[in-house]
Amino acid sequence: MVRLAGSCLRAAVVALSLLAGAAHAEDSQPSPIGQEIDWIIPFSAGGGSDTWAHFLAPLLARHLPGNPQVNIVNEAGGGGTRGANIFAARAEPDGRMILGTSGSTQFPYLLGDFRVHYDYEDWTVLATSPTGGVVFVSAGLGLESWRDIRKLRDRRLVFASQGPTSLDLVPFLAFRLLGLEVQYVFGYTGRHDGLTAMIEGDVNIDYQTTASVLRNLMPAFQSGDLVPLMSWGVMGPDGRTQRDPTFPDLPTVEEVYEHLYGQPPSGPDYEIYHAFFIAGFAAQKMVVIPSDTPEPLRRIWLEAWGKLLKDPDFHEGAPAALGVYPLLIGDEAEDLARRALRIDPDIRRRVHQILARDFSIKLSE
């Protein structure tokens, strides 16, 4: 209650100062959000979220009043929760700190992870975008293409993970659905660390989100050093999974399942996988500010995002850097985010049971 009262007071002070100086808010005047913005990314440098933020940051700076410097601040740890906790504790309603979230921030929140000290209800979503990802294996496993996936049934597979309540829950559920036996090595602070482990030969199966795939992996796929197996796909208008337009030649998990078993997936295991695929990837990347940020500051941010969407450099560079996915802002972003943050209670309960049985993890209901 004290925290809320203090936040409201700070918000009122900021709002009054903005209104008092609104007539002077031209580009030649000092920016109402200052000359430096901290963009918290709760993962290590080099991964998909970091790549995504580094692509967007200079474009945002171009369209924010006063062209402030947008600093990417990597706060990895806690399976994606540490950086979000830092933002929740430190961000003021002054527009000078934003947070970039991903499924690894969403999932612990949805599952009741004890490390979560943040609440999405305390944040306003400025922008959100779906993304995709690709599962791949080391060429040393003897596969030439995804069609050889049956060979993995008698292989020892090792996966570097941020933790089972992070976005890594999606591959965990997918591998389980496909009948692959995988050993999970926990303690990694981001997907880029998992990629490093893959390159160094410590693990032999991995996935990366689209931005990281495009930045780091295409040469290895082309040379055959790494073999792509499948993409997560994208959610179609009918709620069914379709091939990812960024990786149109790669099958979805559903297609790989049908290749293995001769029929499309169905039943409880598929329902669980599909629900968390939607929660993790349909609104995978979000940019948020504190919900008590004054409306004039929120408008400044939304106007900057709107200008970014019209920027020719964004349209030219985004497909190669981030993939072929829409970027939503304002009310559309908020609506998509809220839908992605809803999980059926029965599915949540079943995931709790799986995590307790397979990893001895007890989560609050």
Which residues have CB under 8 Å from 162's CB, separation 6+?
79, 80, 104, 168, 186, 188, 189, 190, 191, 194
**Residue 32 has what pLDDT?**
80
DSSP letter assigned to residue 214: I
Mean pLDDT for all residues in the chain: 89
**What's the pLDDT tens digit per position in 131-152?**
999 999 999 999 999 999 999 9
Asked whether the predicted pLDDT for residue 75 surpasses 70, the reply is yes
Asked whether the predicted pLDDT for residue 19 surpasses 80, the reply is no
**What's the pLDDT tens digit per position in 151-175?**
998 899 999 998 899 999 999 999 9
Write out the two tokens for 309.
Answer: 């969407």
Q: Per this entry, what is the length of the chain?
A: 365
Q: Give the separation between CA 273 and CA 252, rounded to whole angstroms.
A: 13
The model's confidence at residue 28, banded by pLDDT at 50, 70 and 90, is very low
**Residue 117 has what pLDDT?**
96
Domain 133-280 sits in CATH at: 3.40.190.10
Q: Evaluate if pTM is beyond 0.85.
A: no
- Domain locations in the chain as residue ranges: 2-130+282-340, 133-280
Give domain 2-130+282-340's CATH architecture.
Answer: 3-Layer(aba) Sandwich (3.40)
**Residue 12 has what pLDDT?**
39
